[in-house]
Amino acid sequence: MADSSEFLHKVNFSSSRTFGSALKSSFKETFFPDDPFRQFKNQTPLRRTVHALKYFVPVLDWAPKYKFKLFRYDLLSGITIASLAIPQGISYAKLANLPPIIGLYSSFVPPLIYAVFGSSKDLAVGTVAAASLLMASIIGSEVSVVKNPTLYLHLFFTAAFFTGVFQTALGFLRLGILVDFLSRSTILGFMGGTATIICLQQLKGMFGLQHFTTNMDVISVMHSIFTQTHKWRWESAVLGISFLCFLLFTRYLSKKKPRLFWVSAISPLLTVILGCLLVYFARAEKHGIQIVGPLKKGLSPPSIKYLNFEPRYLKVTVKAGIISGILALTEGIAIGRSFAMMKNYQIDGNKEMVAFGLMNIAGAFTSCYLTTGPFSKSAVNYNAGCKTQMSNVVMSICLMLTLLFLAPLFSYTPLVALSAIIISAMIGLIEYEEAYHLFKVDKFDFLICMAAFLGVVFVSMDVGLMVSVGISIVRSLLYLARPGISKLVNIPNTKMYRDVEQYPSTNDVPGILILELGSPIYFSSAGYLRERILRWIDEEHEKITNSGGNELQYVILDMGGVTSIDKPGIEMLHEVQKNIHRKGIKMALTNPRIEVMEKFLSSNFLETFGKEWVFLSVAEAVTACRFMLHESKQKGFAGLNDHTIAVDNA
């Protein structure tokens, strides 16, 4: 090659890292991107132990610094979310076809566990509608709640136990990456479809129906509603519509005047109280208004002895636990991170998994079913001004007092009031504006969203979720198999090179074709990239010939976006080089990352390709190629140099 060493001296061709070093770096980046152990370095063993305990048990970090002025805010927010937890707990337990008292139990023990191990200051723990209905759908397909309610309840406890074990294992093994497969589009469609089905199912309570389908698809639900028109109760419908209008009005008022957020927060409890008073004094149950029924006083009893590990039910409990557990993790972590960003602090997703897992294991042992961080309750907690996890402790104490002294009073709660509460909560989960935004921005994301929505509405919740996740994975595989490749051109009066489709008014570099490769180069994409590169070269050569310009003599491949490469990918580059050299065209590479350079060195690719054809940047490669073009013109050079012949002989 001509004397152009000034363009090459910055390129690092040092020996590769050891296998152990490369594996450690890759493992750390995959499972420990936040480097949680950096704060333990250069510490004495005692201080290292203290820091480790504070890291894994966050209450040891914030509790010693806790002050009374913070407790004033946490007390108010804790009482506020407790007023929401009582009607929601009863409502969502009924949604899961469980005894209403189980919903109250589920807001007593789990929040205490989260206050110890959770890292979010704003997350409020409780049951959620989507997971409640999903577990009811899965477990109900195996065991009838009507024929065997006791076994049905015990399988819920068992599923919660498997959820906890699964979530805890994910956290300890740093496998939060699995949750990332549930994209925002999937969650949006799933929540919208679930909310639609839940709203339609609540028509059972609104019309006072006693018998209803156990299927979760819209056709079965609508069929069950309209084949029983002769059983509709107008008293129940009038009361339900009145409650629903009241709840929607308070929600509207809170949105219009954010300072009145507490109005919307306490409206479900007011609805329950008004409903109880109406039933008690007007004896409304005699007019077809169904009520919750007896609620026993007392704290949540132990349920560890009720966990059912019989082989015939093991499959359904594991399935319900894992699927609903992933959904609960995704919702809880996403909500926690959202509020953390608003207050400018960070939470560790893997620590959150451990906290969720431990609270669900503890819940399974104390007559609770699956819990996570619901959006509605967390939003109320945030707006109420919570400062620490102590608000969950306050909520738990309020629920404890309710269970000890007030539980029987809620036995008069009309089911139509619970239906109205659920419908008002679910309407906010149908984010049609966000779906329309997806349609405008990314049609494929919209397809993923609609796959989840339609799958949930017309088939079942787990099928809709799996179909949407499957499409998301197929999309990722398509991007991997068909990576981006673009032609770069020079921005006038700069040394910058950008995509010609984005900057069509820029200048081609005479005699030089610059292509930018993106994403990893694996066996799945090697064939496509080979054909695409050669097609670019043929098109460029034809373009130059038609315009009467200089012949194409150099092809520069910008490797800065290639994060990894395998053996078929390296062989593809070698084949492209040999192919174009036969046409008198030389190939150069720029800016290969350390992982790619290590593969080049270990495979001896650079021995045949030539280290002198590897540059630090596109600008330096273009300068070197122009220098060689100038030298060849001066010397009247024609044909291939010795390097080209050596490559062809190889």
Domain layout of the chain by residue ranges: 5-17+483-649, 61-477
Residue 101 vs residue 331, higher pLDDT: 101
For residue 345, pLDDT beyond 70? yes
Q: Is-contact 553 586, C-beta < 8 A?
A: yes
pLDDT value for 14: 63
List, in sequence order, every beta strand (DSSP E) within 519-597: 554-561, 586-590
Q: What is the pLDDT of residues 368-405, one digit of tens each?
A: 999 998 877 888 888 778 899 999 999 999 999 999 99
CA dihedral 400, 382, 190, 251 (to 10 degrees): 90
The three-state secondary structure class of 557 is strand
Tell me what the mean pLDDT of segment 630-637 comes to.
Answer: 63
Provide the token pair at 219: 């056709």
pLDDT value for 650: 35
How many Cα atoms within 13 Å fall on the side-chain side of residue 186? 23
CA dihedral 128, 130, 133, 139 (to 10 degrees): -90
Q: How far apart are CA 389 and CA 116, in angstroms?
A: 8
For residue 365, pLDDT beyond 80? yes
Residue 589 forms beta bridges with which residues? 557, 614
For residue 12, pLDDT beyond 70? no
**CATH architecture for residues 5-17+483-649:** 2-Layer Sandwich (3.30)
> H helices then E strands: how many in the chain?
27, 6
pLDDT value for 648: 44
pLDDT value for 38: 59
Distances (CA, A) of 393 to 350, 400, 522, 527, 586: 22, 10, 51, 59, 70
Q: How high is the mean pLDDT of the chain? A: 85
Q: How far apart are CA 248 and CA 543, in angstroms?
A: 64
Q: At 42, is the pLDDT very low, low, confident or very high (cuts 50, 70, 90)?
A: low
Q: What's the burial of 90, exposed, middle or buried (CB within 10 Å: 0-12/13-18/19+)? A: buried
Q: What is the pLDDT of residues 82-131, one digit of tens each?
A: 888 898 899 899 889 999 999 999 999 999 999 999 989 999 999 988 88
Q: What's the burial of 409, exposed, middle or buried (CB within 10 Å: 0-12/13-18/19+)? A: middle
Q: What is the pLDDT of residues 570-586, one digit of tens each?
A: 999 999 999 999 988 99
Q: Per mean pLDDT, which range of 54-63, 75-84, 98-107, 330-339 is the poorest? A: 330-339
Residue 633 vs residue 367, higher pLDDT: 367
Cα 466–chain centre separation: 14
Q: What is the pLDDT of residues 138-184, one digit of tens each?
A: 999 899 998 999 999 999 999 999 999 999 998 888 776 666 667 78
Q: Per mean pLDDT, which range of 131-135, 235-239, 250-254, 641-645 is the poorest? A: 641-645
Most confident of 280-284, 528-532, 609-613, 644-648: 528-532
Cα 250–chain centre separation: 31
Sequence-separated (6 or more) residues with CB below 8 Å from residue 482: 525, 528
Sequence-separated (6 or more) residues with CB below 8 Å from residue 481: 524, 525, 528
pLDDT value for 36: 56
pLDDT value for 149: 93
Tell me what the mean pLDDT of segment 451-475 comes to.
Answer: 86
For residue 312, pLDDT beyond 80? yes
Q: Is-contact 403 337, C-beta < 8 A?
A: no
Query: For the whole model, what pTM was predicted?
Result: 0.74
Q: What are phi and psi of 587, to 5 degrees?
A: -120, 140
Q: How far apart are CA 109 and CA 106, in angstroms?
A: 7
Q: Per mean pLDDT, which range of 241-255, 324-338, 633-647 is the poorest? A: 633-647
Q: What is the CA radius of gyration of the chain?
A: 32
